[in-house]
A and B are shown apart, each in its own frame.
Chain A
């Protein structure tokens, strides 16, 4: 199974809402990633988890809060977002953070902040 799943597919939320994005992989990968992608732009790295510990935070605002409950799951908790946070949020996983390993991406959650 080389699939990364993400839920929900689409999410519309107000600026005062709290919501969570979920990501799951069953490939035994030990690194998991959150990316943000705006239209016609490349994916931008937000967070990297390695062996369930946060190893990279790309200076992401605190209204985005990642969580890795176990080696298969990755969550992104959202609170008090701004309209400019509307984007496609992609989860990815790889065998490890260090080394020449490709990343497997999920289908993404398309987030609209109103």
Chain B
């Protein structure tokens, strides 16, 4: 079945440093979504990418979808304490429209 891996598993950064998480799918995706889950919270939708090579920005966050639609990345510039949480990519298969979550990257910020 479809597998979606993320690296790194954990990232500790100094406040103000940049952060990047990478997402790789074993299959070609129809679209990819990104979610953030704060400690003790639930996943909250951030953004969706649909087109090959698409790049979207949300303030300090930049999201990319690979040309082959099998990988994606999330880059945060100048992290803040409010960025703490686990970032999940989630990919939709062409075949069954099921959303499969990646393994997640847990971000902690050192003030």
Name A residues whose Cβ lies closer than 8 Å to a Cβ of B.
40-45, 48, 56, 90, 92, 97-100, 102-108
Contact = CB atoms under 8 A, between A and B. Distances in A.
Interface in B29-71: 30-31, 33, 41-45, 48, 50
Nearest to B10: A40
B42 A105 contact: yes
For chain B, give the interface size range.
Answer: 20 to 34
Given A104-B45, A105-B43, A106-B42, 10 more contacts: A42-B88, A42-B102, A42-B104, A43-B101, A97-B97, A100-B92, A102-B33, A102-B45, A103-B45, A105-B42
Nearest to A33: B99
14 contacts: A42-B88, A42-B104, A43-B88, A45-B98, A45-B99, A56-B98, A90-B43, A97-B97, A100-B48, A100-B50, A100-B92, A105-B44, A106-B42, A107-B41
Contacts of B88: 42-43
Main secondary structure of the interface of B (DSSP, over half): strand
Interface of B: 30-31, 33, 41-45, 48, 50, 88, 92, 96-104, 106
Contacts of A90: 42-43
B42 A107 contact: yes
Nearest to A107: B42
Contacts of B97: 97-99
Given A90-B43, A102-B45, A107-B42, A48 B98 contact: yes
